[in-house]
Structure 1
Amino acid sequence: MKRIFLAAATIFLSASMAFAQEQQPASHPKVLPMFGQVAKTDAQQKADEKFLTSCDKSFESRTEASNFFMDRGWEYLNEGQVDTAVYRFNLAWLLNPDNYNTYWAFGLVENSRGNSKEAIGMLERALEYQPNNSLLLSDMGSAYLQQYLSDKKKKNLKQATTFLDRSLKADQNNAFAMSSLSQVYFHNKKYAEAWDYLHRGRDLNIMSLDYNFLSDLMTRMPDPKGIFRIETEAAEAAN
């Protein structure tokens, strides 16, 4: 096991050094989901084969290797190193195209980059493997919500509602689904319902609270519970 771990670390370090040395521009296939979905050159294909062969010698299976690189990708993503994270996700995908987590990760990255249409496409692939995954469904709902904010088409808001409802059906305690539903109700001008879902999500997980959205909601309707107040109102109350 130690030998396998050391070998895996060597592969990981080699990949990291190669990535750093090349200093990929943002448009380079290595930092785009599924390597940009473009045809590879002969040299690139040979490099892929060499990488896969090395992994075959170091891991018990490509599934295990794929999961290893997914974990490293999440670590980089949590550190804010998005491009490096995407490269790791690409390696995980190369090792196992049936690893639904790769498509999930690609979807989250694309949504964070403002590419909601691309995000929806990636999340659809993930849902083919995990159709009842509550968190995945809520991320799809969030992607449709972002798409609505971009094009203001009601059909996207309806799609967001559909996926968020499915998410809560799969897990009634999904705080992030509730947070996104709060925003859906807000855009439908149903502010009382928006507050209800915001509070329910916050009570379950404070991390689900979007403070920018909270500010917008407070300008349309005061918090019925009186927990959140606009600064000027809070100052007047203090005096």
Structure 2
Amino acid sequence: MNHKVHTVFVILLTFMMVSCNTPSPYQVWREQAKTNIRLLPEYGNVQKNKQQLAADSAFLKEATKEETAEKASEMMVQLGFKHLNQGDRQTAMYRFNQAWLLNPQNAGAYWGFGSVYFSFQDYKNAIAQYNKGLKLDPRNKDIVRDRIRATESMR
């Protein structure tokens, strides 16, 4: 093997080894979610501690100063999608969780949760979240559309 071919081979082999050992963004997300409930839909449905409950209470009080909880929840969904469209999944999930906290009956929060999973190509979890949203709002065109996209992506 001549020197140039050998060098190219070593570079390619090194690149492959490094890329195989580098966790994917979703693997990193899932690892972080083990200690950050804000990365999980509905805050992971875990029992919150006193500090978390106090933070929730302060947020609810501030968010509903000038708006109803329902209106503030819709605003959080819109803000979540703004962040998701900018590639900031973490902040997006935080906003979707806040939308859910303000109004657990807001189908848009579940659309957001599903969309974060969709962005990671985790279509199974995306569909599960879209289904929760459709139980609340069976005619929600956005959720129906994205659920179809997720289903087709699984094929």
The normalised TM-score by structure 2 is: 0.71
Matches within 5 A, 1:151-166: none
Instruction: Tell me, yes or no, if structure 1 residue 109 matches structure 2 residue 116.
Output: yes
Equivalent of residue 86 in structure 1, options 93, 97, 108? 93
Equivalent of residue 32 in structure 1, options 15, 26, 40? 40
Which residue pairs with 2:129 in the alignment? 122
Measure, in 1, the Cα distance between the counterparts of 2:81 and 2:67: 22
Matches within 5 A, 1:1-239: 26-27=32-33, 28-56=36-64, 58-148=65-155
Measure, in 2, the Cα distance between the counterparts of 1:133 and 1:102: 12
Deviation digits for residues 120-141 of structure 1 (CA, Å, limit 9, x no counterpart): 1110111123323343222112
Shift of 1:41: 1.5
For the Cα contact (< 8 Å) 1:26–1:83, is it kept in 2?
no
AA at the equivalent of 2:51: A
2:48 counterpart SS class: coil
Measure, in 2, the Cα distance between the counterparts of 1:73 and 1:101: 10
Shift of 1:49: 1.1
AA at the equivalent of 1:30: R
- List runs of 5+ in structure 1 lacking aligned partners: 1-24, 149-239
Shift of 1:70: 1.6
Which residue pairs with 1:174 in the alignment? none
Summarize the Cα distance change of 1:122–1:55 in structure 2 as closer, same or farther, 3 Å threshold: same
Measure, in 1, the Cα distance between the counterparts of 2:139 and 2:58: 37
AA at the equivalent of 1:37: N
Larger Rg over CA atoms: 1
Measure, in 2, the Cα distance between the counterparts of 1:77 and 1:89: 10
Shift of 1:29: 1.3
Deviation digits for residues 174-230 of structure 1 (CA, Å, limit 9, x no counterpart): xxxxxxxxxxxxxxxxxxxxxxxxxxxxxxxxxxxxxxxxxxxxxxxxxxxxxxxxx
Summarize the Cα distance change of 1:78–1:60 in structure 2 as closer, same or farther, 3 Å threshold: same
- List runs of 5+ in structure 2 lacking aligned partners: 1-30
1:80 counterpart SS class: coil
2:138 counterpart SS class: coil
For the Cα contact (< 8 Å) 1:35–1:90, is it kept in 2?
yes
Report sequence identity in percent.
Answer: 36
> What is the root-mean-square deviation of aligned Cα atoms in Å?
1.8
May I ask how many residue pairs the two structures share in their alignment? 123
